[in-house]
Amino acid sequence: MIGLCSDHAGYELKEYIKTLLDARGLSYKDFGTYSSDSCDYPDYAHPMAEAIERGEVYPGIAICGTGNGIGMTLNKHQGVRAALCWRSDIAQLARAHNDANVVVVPGRFISLEDTRKIIEVFLDTPFEGGRHARRIQKIPVR
Ligand code: RB5
């Protein structure tokens, strides 16, 4: 079950991403927001992060205007590795090297086509493990 969350600045791109997931026959849980009305990204990021930590959803997809606010919020959670991705090669490395469990997309600064490539690469790329496993094990602070 894939998790989705956004603020108002990411709402339309979140709806587009749902069509990509539908086309692949993938299930998802949408943590909101559910319209383009102004809202606060932590109200949607924290519930999705908690669901990831409980193992209820994996991976997560998150969108705000720049990707920074929602990504900062998600990464407050020790079990979350949220990666801001604006190119598909960064998304590929976020999975292969960082074992990112959330891909964050900057909704106001990215095309639909680049978004599609990023989501597909993120979903299709496995973690390489090895030296990268040692590094990500050192990320949590408690
Ligand atoms: C909303 O206007 C915008 O500030 C938010 O989507 C995000 O970019 C913050 O980091």
Is this prediction's pTM over 0.95?
A: yes
Pocket test for ligand 1, best of 66, 70, 74 (most atoms within 8 A of CB): 66
Ligand 1 centroid to residue 25 C-alpha, Å: 30
pLDDT, tens only, 15-37: 999 999 999 999 999 999 999 99
Q: Is 20 exposed, middle or buried (0-12, 13-18, 19+ CB in 10 A)?
A: middle
pLDDT in tens, 94-140: 999 999 999 999 999 999 999 999 999 999 999 999 999 999 999 99
Q: What digits encode the pLDDT tens for the residues 46-89?
A: 999 999 999 999 999 999 999 999 999 999 999 999 999 999 99
- Determine the Cα angle at 88 with ends 86 and 89, to 5°: 105
- Tokens standing for residue 49: 């992060």
Q: For residue 33, report the distance from its CA to the centre of ligand 1, in Å.
A: 13
Task: Print the SS3 string covering 76-124.
Answer: CCCCCCEEECCCHHHHHHHHHCCCCCEEEEEHHHCCHHHHHHHHHHHHH
